[in-house]
């Protein structure tokens, strides 16, 4: 039976090490470097012949470089006769480009990334809280889209004393299904903020649908980038009478003015998973907290496979 081998890309080595530690495995030897013309070179430093290989690489930081590195690592393992290659992509790159724009000649970049992963030789994809769940249909290989909801419920119950009377809030219409599911599981109310955009990353107007007066409001979303939406939403909730505002996000991208906006916003805490490294950002923003949701969920998935192989 093949053994499990885990290799780390450059984007999130801390997460890769934690996964390996929890499984009682050593990270595989790999050397990544760039040539003088900025081409990426990868050398797998040990045999993977007949092995079950996992490559951990998140869609963050230098996204294009990291994506290319992942594709090359997959291909290197495949042509080295690995029996199976699974790409563990905690934050899926280009996930927001999942459909054609109504007026512009825009690509469907998420589909292109799916094609590239398949062509490179990936047999299986593990990711978390895809921005649009239909991205799974872009692949012709198995995709496990893991959900943070069970861990979100656990965090709320353990860290918010007033959770039984809270309101779960979606900062936009697209997240309504996510928050209604969480609200139903907690048996609490939910609310929705409708936003109108003039252009990308800039919100023009927000309308709150639902009641948050004299309640704790918990904003839940799959990702926050420049944090304009989530910070404006927090202000809207406070002005509508909320006593406290929390934000729980799967992917904390926090680019551009995000950290400054969070520091100036009225959050009690901004809780994120560890799909993206946050150590440097936490130094500049004490409101950011990490809950290791992704590590726990992917560990269960991989540990199950490990036990099956041992049998």
Average pLDDT, integer, range 175-195: 93
- pLDDT, tens digit (0-9, with 9 covering 90-100), for 228-238: 999 999 999 99
Would you say the C-alpha torsion 229, 230, 235, 239 has a positive or negative sign? positive
pLDDT band at 174 (very low <50, low <70, confident <90, very high): confident
- pLDDT, tens digit (0-9, with 9 covering 90-100), for 266-289: 999 999 999 999 999 999 999 999
Question: For residues 310 and 41, which has the higher predicted lDDT (pLDDT)?
Answer: 41
Domain boundaries, given as residue ranges, for the chain: 4-147+295-310, 149-272
Would you say the C-alpha torsion 168, 171, 175, 177 has a positive or negative sign? positive
Of 105-109, 114-118, 294-298, the poorest mean pLDDT is in 294-298
Q: Does residue 219 surpass a pLDDT of 90?
A: yes
Question: Considering the domain 4-147+295-310, what is its CATH architecture?
Answer: 3-Layer(aba) Sandwich (3.40)
Neighbours of 61 (CB within 10 A): 12
Give 184's contacts (C-beta < 8 A, 6+ positions apart).
Answer: none
Q: Does residue 129 surpass a pLDDT of 70?
A: yes
SS3 175: helix
In the chain, % helix, strand, coil (3-state, to 5) comes to 40, 25, 35
Which token pair is 2?
Answer: 């093949």
The single-letter DSSP state of residue 174 is G
* 255-264 long-range Cβ contacts below 8 angstroms, 24+ apart: 255/225, 255/226, 256/201, 256/225, 256/226, 257/226, 257/227, 258/224, 258/225, 258/226, 258/227, 259/284, 259/285, 261/226, 261/227, 261/228, 261/231, 262/227, 262/231, 262/287, 262/288, 263/287, 264/231
Question: Considering the domain 149-272, what is its CATH architecture?
Answer: 3-Layer(aba) Sandwich (3.40)
Average pLDDT, integer, range 7-26: 92
Average pLDDT, integer, range 161-168: 96
Of 15-19, 81-85, 229-233, 298-302, the poorest mean pLDDT is in 298-302
Would you say the C-alpha torsion 25, 28, 29, 35 has a positive or negative sign? negative
Which token pair is 140?
Answer: 């012709």
**Residue 257 contacts residue 240 (beta carbons within 8 Å):** no
* pLDDT score of 48: 97
- Which string of b and e fits 258-270 if b means at least 16 CB within 10 Å? bbebbeebebbbb
* pLDDT score of 297: 60
Q: Does residue 184 surpass a pLDDT of 60?
A: yes
pLDDT band at 207 (very low <50, low <70, confident <90, very high): confident
Q: Do domains 4-147+295-310 and 149-272 have the same CATH topology?
A: yes
pLDDT band at 311 (very low <50, low <70, confident <90, very high): very low
pLDDT band at 310 (very low <50, low <70, confident <90, very high): very low
Average pLDDT, integer, range 253-271: 96
Which token pair is 118?
Answer: 């398949």
Q: What percent of the chain has pLDDT over 70?
A: 90
- pLDDT, tens digit (0-9, with 9 covering 90-100), for 141-156: 999 999 889 889 999 9
pLDDT band at 225 (very low <50, low <70, confident <90, very high): very high
Average pLDDT, integer, range 79-104: 92
Query: What's this model's pTM, rounded to 2 decimal places?
Result: 0.90
**Residue 81 contacts residue 48 (beta carbons within 8 Å):** yes
Average pLDDT, integer, range 107-123: 97
Extended strands (E) in the chain: 4-8, 30-34, 40-44, 52-56, 84-89, 124-128, 143-146, 167-170, 189-199, 202-209, 216-224, 244-252, 269-272, 288-290
| Dist CA 132 CA 136 (whole Å) | 9
């Amino acid at each position: 039976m093949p053994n499990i081998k885990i290799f780390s890309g450059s984007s999130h080595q801390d997460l890769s090490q934690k996964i390996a530690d929890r499984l009682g495995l050593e990270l595989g030897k790999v050397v990544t470097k760039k040539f003088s013309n900025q081409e990426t070179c990868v050398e797998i430093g040990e045999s993977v012949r007949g092995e079950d290989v996992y490559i951990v690489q998140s869609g963050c930081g230098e996204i294009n470089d990291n994506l290319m590195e992942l594709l090359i690592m997959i291909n290197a393992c495949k042509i080295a006769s690995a029996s199976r290659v699974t790409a563990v992509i905690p934050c899926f790159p280009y996930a927001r480009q999942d459909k054609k724009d109504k007026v512009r000649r825009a690509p469907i970049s998420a589909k292109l990334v799916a094609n590239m992963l398949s062509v490179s030789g990936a047999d299986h994809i593990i990711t978390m809280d895809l921005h649009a769940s239909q991205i799974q249909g872009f692949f012709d290989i198995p995709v496990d889209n893991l959900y943070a909801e069970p861990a979100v419920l656990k965090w709320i119950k353990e860290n918010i004393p007033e959770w039984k009377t809270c309101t779960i809030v979606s900062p936009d219409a697209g997240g309504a299904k996510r928050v209604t599911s969480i609200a139903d599981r907690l048996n609490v109310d939910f609310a929705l903020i409708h936003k109108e955009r003039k252009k990308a990353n800039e919100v023009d107007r927000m309308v709150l649908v639902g009641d948050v007066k004299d309640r704790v409001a918990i904003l839940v979303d799959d990702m926050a980038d420049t944090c304009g939406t989530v910070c404006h939403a927090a202000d809207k909730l406070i002005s509508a009478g909320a006593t406290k505002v929390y934000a729980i996000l799967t992917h904390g991208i926090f680019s551009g003015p995000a950290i400054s906006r969070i520091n100036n916003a009225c959050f009690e805490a901004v809780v994120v998973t560890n799909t993206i490294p946050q150590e440097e950002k936490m130094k500049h923003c004490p409101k950011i907290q990490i809950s290791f949701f992704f590590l726990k969920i992917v560990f269960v998935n991989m540990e199950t496979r490990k036990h099956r192989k041992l049998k």
